Homo-oligomer: A and B are copies of this chain.
Amino acid sequence: MQRMTKQRQAVFTELARLPDFRSAQQIFDALKSQGEKVGLATVYRNLQTLSEDERVDVLRSHDGEFLYRLCETPHHHHHLVCRTCGTAEEIEQEAIETWVAEVSASHGFTEVEHSMELFGLCANCAKIKQ
């Protein structure tokens, strides 16, 4: 099935090291500067595998990059991401889910999936900024 190679291990460890969203590039750079020998393509491939297995959350940043981070909760959820430092908090809202279901039904849509991400400025960065 799946093999645990040094590279996969390294990617996983790096993801575990900081609980924020990172791009594949950032992870690649971090590993490189730690002396790990990992190719960029390998980072992408592992992130893809991990996201297929639903071990990481994937979201798309404002300028179109994929960002990854370890899932904390296994079920569906959304994030409140700091634009500046990348800190992310999971927000739980079944209210949204039911609302989505209602809206979809009332418009005759099926198989609806929703993406919702909140990007803002966290309390800490707001303080630093001003």
Contacts and interface: CB of A to CB of B under 8 A. Distances in A.
A71 interface: no
Interface residues of A, number: 32
Contact of A119 (B83, B89, B95, B112): B112
B103 A111 contact: no
Contacts of A120: 104, 109-113
Total copies of the chain: 2
Contacts of A104: 80, 118, 120
A121 B103 contact: no
Interface of A: 60, 64, 80, 82-83, 89, 91, 93, 95-96, 99-100, 103-104, 107-123, 126
